[in-house]
Structure 1
Amino acid sequence: MVQAYSLYEGSFSVDKSRKFVPFDPAVDNPKDRPGSMFIQVHPFLIKTQAGLVICDTGLGQTDEDGVLKLYTNIRRLGYRPEDVKYVLMSHLHKDHAGGMVTFNSGAPRIAFPDAEYIVQRGEWEDAYSGISSSYRTEIFDVVQRSGNLVLVEGAGHLNDEISYELNGGHTTHHQAFHIQTGGEHYFFGGDVLPEPEEIFHNYVAKYDFDGRRSKELRQAYWTEGAPAGWIFLFYHSKSITVGCGQVREDGSYKLISAI
């Protein structure tokens, strides 16, 4: 049984200002936002033997009471934010790292106090270097003070179920995660593999640090993972968010929803 869930934050438009503006297709017209990209934001929750795992934390969207949407979505699934044991960060751009902390209690505090926050050391250092306005260091300051930050380097294992690998591509020190639990192999590629369409319409993306590397990695992950039964988690998907490969009559693989 698949136990991976989208903690959907919403749909947004993003223009050259890099501001994420909520976009509701039912009432908003894309033509009113020229020069914008339109993206979805899907942090993920996975139930493992060691406890709940979060894959990236979204923008940190809140309701009218200031409560993180991540909290609300976790509770709707029947779980508690307190049960999150690992927060796996592919990278630290603001649309992935905003929910690492909460500001609802006055002073900012870490959003998942019983979790280890897993970040590549090089990505952490880059976030403070000033190389990109996509990093919000005021969030990272809170994480650093919490004592929950775990900096990793290269590839390795967190436990018997979770492994990480430095893959670059989108940022210099971007990482991907493999979570093998309950008889399933989940793969979270972050912004190297953010949408299922990028598998089949493979291209060099301008928003990647190394677009050619990302392009090569997407094909490598699909070529290895589809026959092996990996379940792919697509962070910015407009269609299938949790998918896997299904073999066609000609021996090739198509993507289908795994839930």
Structure 2
Amino acid sequence: MKIHHLNTGTMCPMGRRLVNGTGGLFQRARMVCHCLLIETNNGLALVDTGIGLGDIAAPERLGRRWLRQTAPRLDPAETAVQQVRALGYSPNDVRHVLLTHLDRDHAGGVPDFPHAAIHVHRAEYDMAVLHKPAPPEGRYVTGQWSHGPSWSFYGETGEDWFGFKGVRALGDREADILMIPLAGHTLGHCGIAVRTSDTWLLHAGDSYFHHGQLDASPRAPMMLRYFQRKVDMDRNARSANQARLRELKLNHGKRVAIFNSHDPVDYENCRCGAH
């Protein structure tokens, strides 16, 4: 399977040293929305969607506070649908969208692929869409799925994958794409594992925010640590899963390349083939 690494939304909050770990306090930081476009035997599959055209047309739906804090560029050329077109495909070629979770900077492009099946953990759907249980106020942007997409749900049970319970996301058609439950950031948060020729890629979503958090001696800039704690829905689960990812990197780092959604270092390493 050919895999494209896409940045589907650049965010430029103030305080580069506190976010990226380098630069000045009054410089703009850089964060990305790291998505995957996978050429499968059953059409294209997209892992996360980043910011969508609807978000750019009506940015107020993203929330004034979120816009002020993250300072996204809102560039239509960065949207997943425009990058799919730039690669020579039609949006209708995207048959499957696999979401790590339904936060606004991950699901914004869902309406841009109205014919795709939307794959998500059942617990994430229950909270974000059905409000069972009710989510924290303002956490989700329901307009990102108000068009009524075709949902496909997953649970906690599945086959073993390096000690994690992985579920075959596309069934027997694509046995090498797995959804890995990694709850904590949200209750239904997942990672998406994709097998390449002889290794795996693990898109870990928002399980961690800075590459240093998977080091033997974990580290991350202060603002990212604060933000992570602030948005945790289950801190104990997030901490436990982050520790499991650290162990996975330590024991199987040559077989599994792990990256998160927003770290520009992870993104550039993937684009350059370092992962």
Q: Which residue of 2 aligns with 1:31?
A: 26
Q: Could you say what secondary structure the match of 1:216 adopts?
A: helix
Q: Which residue of 1 aligns with 2:117?
A: 116
Q: Which residue of 2 aligns with 1:210?
A: 234
Q: Which residue of 2 aligns with 1:7?
A: 7
Unaligned runs of 5+ in 2: 16-23, 58-73, 158-166
Q: Could you say what secondary structure the match of 2:126 adopts?
A: helix
Letter in 1 for 2:127: D
- Tell me, yes or no, if the aligned pair for 2:198 and 2:255 is still in contact at 8 Å: no
The counterpart of 1:90, out of the listed 90, 100, 108, is 100
- Tell me, yes or no, if the aligned pair for 2:168 and 2:179 is still in contact at 8 Å: yes
Q: Which moved more, 1:202-211 or 1:78-87?
A: 202-211
Question: Following superposition of structure 1 onto structure 2, how do residues 242-257 of structure 1 map, counting pairs within 5 Å?
Answer: 243=269, 257=273
Question: Following superposition of structure 1 onto structure 2, how do residues 95-244 of structure 1 map, counting pairs within 5 Å?
Answer: 95-101=105-111, 111-127=112-128, 128=131, 129-142=134-147, 145-146=148-149, 148-155=150-157, 156-158=167-169, 159=171, 160-200=175-215, 201-202=218-219, 205-206=228-229, 207-225=231-249, 226-241=252-267, 243=269
Q: How many residues align?
A: 220
Q: Could you say what secondary structure the match of 1:74 adopts?
A: helix
Of structures 1 and 2, the one scoring higher in RCO (CA 8 A, sep 6+) is 2
The counterpart of 2:37, out of the listed 39, 45, 59, is 45
Q: Could you say what secondary structure the match of 1:12 adopts?
A: coil
The alpha-carbon distance between structure 1 residues 74 and 184, as it changes in their structure 2 partners (threshold 3 A), is farther
The counterpart of 2:81, out of the listed 54, 58, 71, is 71
The alpha-carbon distance between structure 1 residues 77 and 7, as it changes in their structure 2 partners (threshold 3 A), is farther
The alpha-carbon distance between structure 1 residues 202 and 74, as it changes in their structure 2 partners (threshold 3 A), is same
1:35-88 deviations in Å (ceiling 9; x for gaps) = xx8632222222233332211111225489978721222233343322212211
Unaligned runs of 5+ in 1: 16-28, 102-110, 245-255
Q: Which moved more, 1:221-230 or 1:165-174?
A: 221-230
Distance apart, 1:117 and its partner CA = 0.5
Q: Could you say what secondary structure the match of 2:188 adopts?
A: coil
Q: Could you say what secondary structure the match of 1:235 adopts?
A: coil
Q: Which residue of 2 aligns with 1:252?
A: none
- State the 4+ residue runs in structure 1 displaced beyond 4 angstroms: 61-68
Which is strand-richer, 1 or 2?
1
Q: Could you say what secondary structure the match of 2:46 adopts?
A: strand
- Tell me, yes or no, if the aligned pair for 2:9 and 2:78 is still in contact at 8 Å: no
Q: Which moved more, 1:65-74 or 1:171-180?
A: 65-74
**C-alpha RMSD over aligned residues:** 3.3
Letter in 1 for 2:179: Y
TM-score (norm 2): 0.67
- Tell me, yes or no, if the aligned pair for 2:7 and 2:32 is still in contact at 8 Å: no
- Tell me, yes or no, if the aligned pair for 1:88 and 1:117 is still in contact at 8 Å: yes
The alpha-carbon distance between structure 1 residues 94 and 14, as it changes in their structure 2 partners (threshold 3 A), is farther
Letter in 2 for 1:150: S
- Tell me, yes or no, if the aligned pair for 2:44 and 2:94 is still in contact at 8 Å: yes
Which is helix-richer, 1 or 2?
2
The alpha-carbon distance between structure 1 residues 210 and 235, as it changes in their structure 2 partners (threshold 3 A), is same
The alpha-carbon distance between structure 1 residues 215 and 121, as it changes in their structure 2 partners (threshold 3 A), is same
Letter in 2 for 1:136: V
TM-score (norm 1): 0.70
1:136-179 deviations in Å (ceiling 9; x for gaps) = 1122222xx23x21122224212212221322111122112212
1:178-226 deviations in Å (ceiling 9; x for gaps) = 1224444221111003432321234763132233432332332243254
